[in-house]
Amino acid sequence: MTATTAPASTETTRQLARQQSWWERSNKATMVMAGVTAAVCVFFALASDTFLTFANVSNLATQVAPVLIVAVAMTFVITAGQIDLSVGSIIAFVSAVSAQLLAAGWDSSIVLIAGLVMGAGWGMVNGWFTAYAGIPAFIVTLATLSVIRGIALLTTQGFSVPIDFDTFFAQLGSARWLGLSSSAWIALVVVVLGLVVLHRTPFGQYVIGTGAAEESVRRAGVNVRRVKLMALTLSGLAAGIAGILVAARLGSGSANSAQGFELTVIAAVVLGGTSLFGGRGTVVGTLIGAILITVIANGLTLVGVSPFLTPIITGTVLLAVIWVNLRGKDIGQALRSLVAGR
Amino acid sequence: MAGETEDLLVELKGITKSYGPVQSLRGVDLTLRRGEVLGLVGDNGAGKSTLMKVLAGAVQHGGGEIRVHGRPVRFANPADAQAEKIGIVYQDLALCDTIDVAGNLFLGREPRKGPFIDRRTMHEQAAQILSDLHVKVSSTHQEIGTLSGGQRQTVAIARAVSFKPDVLILDEPTAALAVAEVESVLRLITDVAARGVGVILITHRLQDLFRVCDRITVMYEGQSVDDVPIDQLDIEKLVALITRSEPQKAQKEVSP
């Protein structure tokens, strides 16, 4: 299929194919966010003695894990030009149903697999209606947001279902390795996987292309419906993982958990520099966005201000960052002239 | 250049196409030879684009016959036409703005190393394709969205050429381009034809036809009405053929 097999030999072709500089390649919105996150961390380190202790950093890693796991998958969904509002409900569903299955005497290993299958299954439901029935993902997942949590509420009657501490499932929640919780390690693995898949594989390329110009990718012979189905299946699967971890850590499964979780996740993704309009995504940015949101909540608690300030500040930062991103080019130019002028 | 039958790439005979009661093609004849640039002209609604969609497999014709390399064929979809080595660059170019030049050239057929895209190979091959065709971009790592209209057009044509087509259809490649950019697109068309590809050029810019075409086929109300070598035409005669009026009258109508 390829047109030429001979390696580029002439000077011009080598010149054409040369890698761009690090500055040219970097996502400017993500750089801004990295700066903001660093500044916020420095502020809290100065304002609170405990912020930079290992215990708190380890705690931060555990807190950020569920958001981060789902946010990495959401990066794919949003980059493909879709949205998934149902992730919070899937977490509630998986945690509640897993707890019920354990209570019914199922073995932990089977419940773990069931949790993943349930998450991916709901993702496929979202994906099928979006990609094959042609209903916008916003509408589909708005509907399943309601349905999925509704089923969880119906089966548990709204009660929290306790998980026996002796089960492997519950021990997963308290397991630690090198001072970090199992959640944190799993999140790290998910981030690395997300990075590789989005930026190194054909699937990642098609996710980006689908968000940028779906029709162009379709005409290139790519099955864009399958790409969309897979993206939404990934976010369902990630929500399944997060649901298991949340239930394991709390030692109970509740249909009321993770209310509004989808908004935190979407905020983390958008803060990182992924375009809500699709076609441009960054897993590193999502990592930074998720950390920033968690650090704000954690830091404000340590500093001892009213907990009700947290949503106000988080929302304000989100709005400010979107404003900055929309003017990203101007700011990039300003930064460049600043660097050049030095 | 002229008429040896083995050079004949495409023959269309009496092609018709109806959309419900509307007959948009009412018997079109067209021939294309190897290494030839054929200009396809006609007023808006004359059926040029429909005819090209038929030839590219995007639309299925009603009656008439398509022969490629002398064999009668019928295209059910664009893949069938591509298998017969017929390529088309639509006006919207079908590029992805947020993907780089190399990624766009190889979209859907990325060179792989295991499960991963072999970016190194992809960029090297992309650079090779672009320098072979003298396409001017500063780097294969540039995002398509940052390119000028002319650069985007040439990248889209390079992409079509990289499939090694025998026939390349270009739909208004020079519309809305700056003067210097029109030049680079026209030069690219000549280069492509020099490699033995038969090029069909649809354009409203009549001056471009005189720069690159060997022959002009004129369409009028869904029919092919004239097939004239370019050296027998000047711009006034061409306008007259398109509008189906006398040259003198046409001159009056057209001149500003």
Q: What pLDDT digit, counting tens, does each position of A108-136 carry?
A: 999 999 999 999 999 999 999 999 999 99
Q: What is the pLDDT of residue A8?
A: 42
Distance from CA of B199 to the nearest CA of A (A): 18
Has residue B112 been placed in a domain?
A: no
Place of tokens 């394991």: A248
Ranges of beta strands (E only) in A34-105 are none
- Whether the per-residue pLDDT at B44 is higher than 80: the answer is yes
Closest CA to A224 of B31, B3, B61, B108: B108
Average pLDDT over residues B128-138: 87
Has residue B113 been placed in a domain?
A: no
- Whether the per-residue pLDDT at B255 is higher than 60: the answer is no
- pLDDT tens per residue across span A17-75: 777 777 777 777 788 888 889 999 999 999 998 999 999 999 999 999 999 999 999 99
Instruction: Supply the Cα-derived Rg of chain A in whole angstroms.
Output: 21
Q: Looking at beta carbons, which residues of chain B come within 8 Å of A4?
A: 125, 128-129, 132
Q: Which residues constitute the domain of residue B90?
A: 5-95+152-254
Work out the percent of chain B whose per-residue pLDDT is above 90: 49
Has residue B41 been placed in a domain?
A: yes
**Mean predicted lDDT score pLDDT of chain A:** 89
Are A182 and A126 within 8 A, CB to CB?
no
Nearest to B103 among A16, A17, A205 (CB): A205
Nearest to A17 among B94, B126, B161 (CB): B126
- Whether the per-residue pLDDT at A277 is higher than 80: the answer is yes
DSSP code string of A146-195: HHHHHHHHHHHTT--EE--TTSHHHHHHH-EETTEEHHHHHHHHHHHHHH
All residues at 6 or more sequence positions from B100 whose CB lies less than 8 Å from its CB, including other chains: B140, B141, B142, B143, B144
pLDDT band at A330 (very low <50, low <70, confident <90, very high): low
Which of B105, B131, B138 should one mutate to test binding to chain A, selecting the residue with the greatest count of A CBs within 10 A? B131
DSSP B231: G
Nearest to B139 among A18, A211, A215 (CB): A18
Q: What is the pLDDT of residue B6?
A: 61
Has residue B84 been placed in a domain?
A: yes
Which of B80, B99, B121 should one mutate to test binding to chain A, selecting the residue with the greatest count of A CBs within 10 A? B99
pLDDT band at A322 (very low <50, low <70, confident <90, very high): confident
CATH number of B53's domain: 3.40.50.300
- Whether the per-residue pLDDT at A195 is higher than 70: the answer is yes
Has residue B146 been placed in a domain?
A: no
Q: What is the pLDDT of residue A328?
A: 60
Token pair of A217 as six digits = 């990718």
Has residue B127 been placed in a domain?
A: no
pLDDT band at A4 (very low <50, low <70, confident <90, very high): very low
Q: What is the pLDDT of residue B135?
A: 86
- Whether the per-residue pLDDT at A172 is higher than 80: the answer is yes
A138: amino acid identity, one letter:
F
Q: What is the pLDDT of residue A64?
A: 96
Has residue B67 been placed in a domain?
A: yes
In chain B, the number of structural domains is 1
- Whether the per-residue pLDDT at A241 is higher than 50: the answer is yes
Rounded Cα distance between B74 and B64, Å, is 10
Has residue B237 been placed in a domain?
A: yes
Q: Which domains does chain A have, with CATH numbers?
A: 29-322 (1.10.3470)
Residues 187-216 of B with CB under 8 A from A: none
pLDDT band at A95 (very low <50, low <70, confident <90, very high): very high
pLDDT band at A174 (very low <50, low <70, confident <90, very high): confident
Q: What is the pLDDT of residue A5?
A: 43
- Whether the per-residue pLDDT at B72 is higher than 50: the answer is yes
Rounded Cα distance between B46 and A149, Å, is 57
pLDDT band at B106 (very low <50, low <70, confident <90, very high): very high
- Whether the per-residue pLDDT at A214 is higher than 50: the answer is yes
- Whether the per-residue pLDDT at A319 is higher than 50: the answer is yes
